[in-house]
Amino acid sequence: MTRKPFGRNGFFCSDCGYESLKWMGFCSSCHSNQPLVEAPSRSSSNRKGWINPVSSSLKELVSISYDIGSRISSGFQELDRVLGGGIVPGSIILVAGEPGIGKSTLLLQIAHQISLTKRTITYISGEESDHQIKLRADRLGISGKNVFLLTETNVETIVEHLEATLPSLVIIDSVQTLSSSDIGLAPGSITQVRTSVLTLLEWAKIRNIPILLSGHVTKDGTIAGPRVLEHMVDAVLYLEGEPLNANRIVHSQKNRFGSTNEVAMFSMESHGLKEIVDPSQTLLANRSLDAVGSSVVPTIGGSRPLMVEIQALTSPTYGPSPRRTANGIDLSRLVMITTVLTQRSHLNLGNRDVTVNVAGGLRIADPGCDLALALAIASCSKDLPIKQGLVAIGEVGLSGELRPVSQLNRRLQEASRLGFTSCILPMSAKHHKIQGLNLLFATTISMAIKIGLNNHTENRTL
């Protein structure tokens, strides 16, 4: 039986990146209402003349060796941690973020840091002129030795330049400006972006040289490029933050060479991005100590604990049904906690809008923060502040019970380090002890509210 040859093109969903070999109209994976777009299939990228055809061969796993020290440090310890220990040679890393968030700044700073180790960097920009990049470099105090600029958008020309110079690192700003002469479509279209990245991917793997790409995403992450690219590149880093707030957070959405739970914090200053080495302290810096509706929880951000402040605001509902708004927390988690508070702790939230926010622009997906979230809502709803120096850790179940959480010791140590004096915990953690922290135990969310709120007039309705 003869096998059908693979077609050259596939059909891609611009929302989730799903690839179909046949035209199907709409995406059967995410059911997006965007029609599928034709683009070269990953399995059939045409080999270019500069690539030596490599014959594939079987290798026994045991016989494969690699050099553990071959990762290149980005010059930022925090970023290296998010990357899993540095930049892996031959990998393609996408740095995605909203326009103006600081991607070009970060990339130029990385170029500078790596250039200090006597490596050469090729910085390719399709968005800014040499002068604009030089202006930014001056602002950042970067001399630019060993950093070579190229303002080019054609991927074939880019690869020709790279082949001629073989730098230690390639930076491309941004992926949306790339185009391939094989395709007659405008730059930024999915077909152009995919084709260009496939060419670069092949080059990077064969030459074992890493490439950093920047990519714009809009608030809801809808722009085609980065979403489609997630499936192709080795790691996707998101640079996030509020434009008017100096804090920037880098986390990885995908990482073939490390954990995706790590977070790094930077601050955008007049001389570029600066690493924040003690994020817990920064996140709690502007907290008012006896504010109503504010609670603190030690959460786990990858390999280290992070203290975060959860703020809640409840107000009368004027619409037909109460609204729940979550910033930095999963909305379904908020809905669950408000329902449990209403049903199990008799908190009247049925005719109140509830808004919650994680201070500092952080996003948390840790169930251990449930109790702190519940306390913040209860505090606002009852107009009573949470006791000073208190943190709360625990997952909340549907019957209002408190459940155990992971990595408790590290969380408690972080709370103690930052000067907190007491902590509410689920009863299951009774055997824990930590110096300087008064541990208080509760079995239910109602009990925790009773312990946690600064209630001078005892016996209010719970």
Which residues contact Mg ion by CB under 5 A?
Answer: 104
Contact 213, 94 (CB under 8 A): yes
**Type of residue found at 457:** T
CB of 218 to Mg ion, least distance (A): 15
- 104 versus 280: smaller Cβ distance to ligand TYD: 104
Please tell me whether residue 345 adopts helix, strand or coil conformation: coil
Q: What string of H, E and C letters represents the secondary structure of 61-119?
A: HHHCCCCHHHCECCCCHHHHHHHCCCECCCCEEEEEECCCCCHHHHHHHHHHHHHCCCC
How many angstroms separate the Cα of 329 from the Cα of each of 77, 238, 266, 354, 363? 27, 17, 21, 13, 6
CB of 241 to ligand TYD, least distance (A): 10
Q: Which does 358 bind (CB under 5 to 8 A by kind): ligand TYD, Mg ion, none?
A: none
In 256-363, beta strands by DSSP E: 263-269, 272-275, 294-301, 304-316, 324-327, 352-358
- 103 versus 251: smaller Cβ distance to ligand TYD: 103
- 250 versus 393: smaller Cβ distance to ligand TYD: 250
- 104 versus 299: smaller Cβ distance to Mg ion: 104
How many angstroms separate the Cα of 223 from the Cα of each of 16, 179, 191, 215? 11, 17, 13, 9
- 213 versus 312: smaller Cβ distance to Mg ion: 213
- 107 versus 362: smaller Cβ distance to Mg ion: 107
Q: Which does 185 bind (CB under 5 to 8 A by kind): Mg ion, ligand TYD, none?
A: none
CB of 142 to ligand TYD, least distance (A): 10
Q: How many CB atoms lie within 10 A of CB 260?
A: 14
Report the C-alpha gap between 422 and 439 in whole angstroms: 6
- Parallel, antiparallel, or unpaired: how do β-strands 352-358 and 324-327 relate? parallel
Q: Which does 101 bind (CB under 5 to 8 A by kind): ligand TYD, Mg ion, none?
A: ligand TYD
- 140 versus 291: smaller Cβ distance to ligand TYD: 140
Q: Which does 268 bind (CB under 5 to 8 A by kind): Mg ion, ligand TYD, none?
A: ligand TYD
CB of 211 to Mg ion, least distance (A): 16
Q: What string of H, E and C letters represents the secondary structure of 152-189?
A: CCEHHHHHHHHHHHCCCEEEEECHHHCECCCCCCCCCC
Q: Which does 136 bind (CB under 5 to 8 A by kind): Mg ion, ligand TYD, none?
A: ligand TYD
Q: Which does 100 bind (CB under 5 to 8 A by kind): Mg ion, ligand TYD, none?
A: ligand TYD
CB of 423 to Mg ion, least distance (A): 43
CB of 138 to Mg ion, least distance (A): 16
Q: Which does 191 bind (CB under 5 to 8 A by kind): ligand TYD, Mg ion, none?
A: none
Nearest to 360 by CA among 307, 417, 418, 288: 307
CB of 99 to Mg ion, least distance (A): 7
Q: Which residues bind ligand TYD (CB under 6 A)?
A: 97, 99-105, 136, 139-140, 268, 270-272
Nearest to 128 by CA among 146, 158, 151: 151
